[in-house]
Amino acid sequence: MQLSNEQIRQFDEEGYLFLPDCFSPDEVAALREEAVSIYDTDRPEVWREKSGAPRTAFAAHLYNEAFGLLGAHPRLIEPVQQLFGEPVYMHQFKINAKSAFDGEVWQWHQDFGTWARDDGMPDPKAMNIAVFLDEVTHINGPLMLVPRSHKEGVFEAGHDLSTTSYPLWTLDNERVAKLVDVGGIVAPTGKPGGVMMFHGNLVHGSAGNITPYPRKIVYLTLNAVSNYIRKPTRPDWIAHQDFSPIVPVADDALMHYAQRYRQAAE
């Protein structure tokens, strides 16, 4: 899948692109069910909220067939290779739960701030791709983005170790207010299967989820191979150190997997 010139212009200008209906209901249903079983397992890659509810599951593309296919899917890999003009590898892979009733906040931050400070990534030549597994609505903690906030590099940030179970380099309110004066805030919503790509310096965050509706989103972070991380400090299931280029699978590989998955369940 290739982006049009208009999509590339929009990405450069606004810092994000939303592509509804990228994956079919069958493809996403299989991923959603697998995500729930992963959250039910007791393994270090499954990170929990202070309440015990799942917050995120790292690196499932390495041990789960469905997420392995998603992590090498041409609908995700090819547009990023197109934008960067080179092959990409997986820097991080996570399935964020934003659990019904218990999903906690992600404070305002820039991801490249973390990749640079914690992992020694040289440039913001890495892309976040969000794949909606549940319907994302305006009430269940959608990801909020500050359009155009990707143009001024990395802002000063504080290392917040206490608000949630997950340490994060967060921006102060004054900075966020100034950026929002310029770009506003958007929170793309939509059905499972929607995809959102956003720049590593784009400011984003999300509120807690107190509704009965879970909001699972998978995030791939695809890094240009030449931009491999130089000073890792985190476990390699959080910030991977296998810099081999991803070889995309066939476009219908996940669809065939989903068909077999449904038949096995019947």
List residues binding ligand SIN (CB under 6 A): 96, 98, 106, 143, 204, 206, 217, 219
Nearer to ligand SIN, 106 or 115 (CB): 106
Task: Give yes or no for a contact between 237 and 9, defined as CB atoms under 8 angstroms apart.
Answer: no
The CA distance from 13 to 254, in Å, is 32
Smallest gap from residue 187 Cβ to Mn ion (A):
14
Nearer to Mn ion, 84 or 115 (CB): 115
Q: Work out what residue 217 binds among Mn ion, ligand SIN, none; the CB cut-off runs from 5 to 8 Å by kind.
A: ligand SIN
Question: What distances in angstroms separate CA 231 from CA 87, 186, 252, one per listed residue?
Answer: 21, 33, 37
Task: Work out whether strand 195-199 and strand 16-19 pair parallel, antiparallel, or are unpaired.
Answer: antiparallel
Q: Is 45 in the site for Mn ion (CB under 5 A)?
A: no
Smallest gap from residue 68 Cβ to ligand SIN (A):
21
Task: Give yes or no for a contact between 75 and 23, defined as CB atoms under 8 angstroms apart.
Answer: yes
Structure-block tokens of residue 253: 């590989």
Site string for Mn ion, 96-135 (x = CB under 5 A): ---------------x------------------------
Nearer to Mn ion, 64 or 221 (CB): 221
Q: Work out what residue 206 binds among ligand SIN, Mn ion, none; the CB cut-off runs from 5 to 8 Å by kind.
A: ligand SIN
Smallest gap from residue 266 Cβ to ligand SIN (A):
33
**Which residues, including other chains, have CB under 8 Å from residue 8's CB and lie 6 or more apart?**
83
Smallest gap from residue 243 Cβ to ligand SIN (A):
21
Structure-block tokens of residue 147: 């359009």
The CA distance from 96 to 91, in Å, is 16
Applying CB under 5 A, the residues found at the interface with Mn ion are: 111
